[in-house]
Amino acid sequence: MGDLCLLAFLGMISAMSPLSTDMYLPGLPQLQADFGVSASLAQLTLTMTMAGMAIGQVAGGPLADRYGRKGPLLLGMVGFFLMSTACYLAESIYWFLAFRFAQGFCGAFGIVISRAIARDVRSGAELMKFLAILMMVHGLAPVLAPVFGGQLLLFMPWRGVFAVLAGIGLLLTIFTLIYKETLPKDKRIPSIAGSFGSFIELLHDRYFLGHCLVQCFVFGSFFSYLAGSSFLFQNVYGVSAQTFSFIFGSIGLGLMILGSLPAKMAGAVEGVVMLKWALIVPVGGSILLLAGFFLDAPIWYTVPVLFTTIVPMSVMGASSIALALSKQGKNAGSASALLGFFSMILGGACMPVVGIAGDHTAIPMGCLMVAGYALALLSFYRLIAPYHHRELHQR
C-alpha cells in the first residue's frame, strides 16, 4: 500500500466509532418507538456500543503488539460484519443491546490498530501530520454518516442502517486482506502476558495518564452530545430527521476542516500549545451552551455555540494522541488501547444520563459537557503541562 492508500484504509477502519453511532442517530426516536422503550433505554444502545469499543480496544491493542496488526484486525472486521447483520435481525431490545456490545467490541480493533499502524510508519512531527491527516479522513464519517442515515430513513426503517453497516464491514474485511503487515516479527512483544502487563507501566507514567484523562473527559462530553443531539433538535426544536442530519453533518464538517490545522502547523506550533487551546475553547463554549438551555435559547443561538464547542475536538485528538504515542515504541498498540479505552468508557456511562430528565430537555447534556471539558482542562494543567514546562527549561 502507498501512503495515500494506507491513509484511506486507516481512515476507514478508525471510523468504526462514528459509523456505528452517527449513522443511526437520526433513527434513534424511531428505534425508541419500535421497541416501545424509554429514551434512556434507547440511548443505552449507544452505551453498549461504547462499552464494547472500550473493552475491545483493551483486547485489540495487546493482541496487535503480540501477533502483529493484520491478524487481529481481520478478526475484528469479520466480527463487525457478523454483528451488524445480527443487529439488523434482532427482534428484542435485549438481544439488540447484546449485539450492539459485540459490534462495538469488534469495531474497536479497527480503531486501536489504526493508531498503532500510524506509529509503526511515522514518528515525531511526521506522526503528528500523519495522525492529523488520518483524522481528516476519519472526519468524513461523522459528516456523511448522519446525513446518509437521515436520507436512508426516507426509504427504509432504522434497521436498514445496520444492513449498510454490515456491507461496510464486509468491504473492510476485503481491504484488510490486502493490507501488508507493518509490525515485523522481531519487533513484537514476545508474550501476550507481557503485552497486557505493559498497561501497568503505562498507567504509572503521569504524563501518559494525563493524556488518557484528557481523552476520557473530552469524549465523555462528546458522547453526551451524541446521545442528546437527536432529541435536542427533533424533540426540543422540532426539526425533521433529515434537517437534524444536516445540522449534525455540518458540525462533523467543522471537525474535519479544523482537523487539517495540526497537519499544517506541525513543526511550526508545538503540539502542547494546540492541545491547550483545543481544551480552553470548548470550556467556554459549553458554559454558553448550558446557559442557553436554561434560558430556552432559540436554535439560531444553539447551533453556532454547539459548533464552537465541538469542533476543537479534532485538534485535541491529533495533538494529544501524537504527544502520547511519540514516547512509545513497541508498546504503541497497548498505549493506543489505553487511550481508546479512556476515550470510550466515560462516554458510554454518560449516554443514559443524558435522558434522565426525559426526552424534551437538554439540560443534563449541557451539564455533562461543562463538567467533562472542565475536568479535561484541569487534567492538562496538572499532568501534561508540567512535563513540557520542565522540558522547556532543560533546553
pLDDT score at 308: 94
- Whether residue 186 is contained in a domain is answered as no
Range(s) of the domain holding residue 8: 3-179+191-394
Q: What pLDDT, on the 0 to 100 scale, is given for residue 186?
A: 82
Q: What is the pLDDT of residue 371?
A: 95
Q: Give the pLDDT mean for 246-271.
A: 77
Reported confidence tier of residue 333, pLDDT bands at 50, 70, 90 = confident
CB 15 within 8 A of CB 220: no
Check residue 5 and give its pLDDT.
79
Q: Is 30 a domain residue? A: yes
Instruction: Note whether residue 256 is domain-resident.
Output: yes
pLDDT of 395 strictly over 60: no
Per-residue confidence (pLDDT) for residue 300, from 0 to 100: 93
- Please name every residue paired with 269 in a beta bridge, in sequence order, or none if there are none: 266
Average pLDDT, the chain: 84
Q: How many CB atoms lie within 10 A of CB 327?
A: 12
**Span 262-266, average pLDDT:** 69
Q: What is the pLDDT of residues 183-209, one digit of tens each?
A: 888 888 777 777 677 788 888 889 999
**In which residue are the cell numbers 484523562 written?**
213
Q: pLDDT band at residue 226, thresholds of 50, 70 and 90?
A: confident
Distance of CA 73 to the CA centre of its chain: 18
Is residue 330's pLDDT more than 70? Answer: no
Q: Is the pLDDT of residue 178 over 80?
A: yes
pLDDT of residue 114: 87
What's the pLDDT score for residue 334?
Answer: 81
- Quick check: is 118 in a domain? yes
Ordered alpha helix ranges (H), 204-298 = 206-231, 241-258, 260-265, 271-294
Quick one: which H or E segment has residue 4? helix 3-14
What pLDDT does 229 receive? 85
Residue 181 has pLDDT above 70, yes or no: yes
pLDDT of 141 reads 67
Is 266 or 36 the better-scoring residue by pLDDT?
Answer: 36
Whole-number Å distance between alpha carbons of 16 and 226: 15
Helical ranges in 153-205 per DSSP H:
160-178, 192-203
CA proximity to 253, closest of 17, 8, 49, 18 = 18
Q: Is 139 a residue whose pLDDT tops 60?
A: no
Which three-class secondary structure string do you get for 9-60?
HHHHHHCHHHHHHHCCHHHHHHHHHHHCCCHHHHHHHHHHHHHHHHHHHHHH
CA-based radius of gyration for the chain: 20
Tell me how many domains the chain contains. Answer: 1
Checking if the pLDDT of 382 tops 80, the result is: yes
Q: Using alpha carbons only, give the angle 315, 289, 15 rounded to the nearest 5 degrees.
A: 35
What pLDDT does 117 receive?
Answer: 87
More confident residue, 363 or 150: 363
Q: What percent of the chain has pLDDT over 90?
A: 32
Q: Given this model, what pLDDT does residue 199 score? A: 84
How far, in Å, CA of 49 to CA of 278, rounded?
26
The band of 376, judged by pLDDT with boundaries at 50, 70 and 90, is very high
359 has pLDDT over 70? no
Judge contact between 108 and 16, C-beta under 8 A. yes
Question: What's the pLDDT score for residue 279?
Answer: 96
Q: Per the domain annotation, does 135 fall within a domain? A: yes
In a domain, 184, yes or no: no
185 assigned to some structural domain: no
| CATH value at residue 318 | 1.20.1250.20
Residue 207 lies in a domain: yes
Whole-number pLDDT of residue 356: 73
The region of weakest confidence among 132-141, 202-211, 257-266, 322-331 is: 132-141
pLDDT at 143: 60
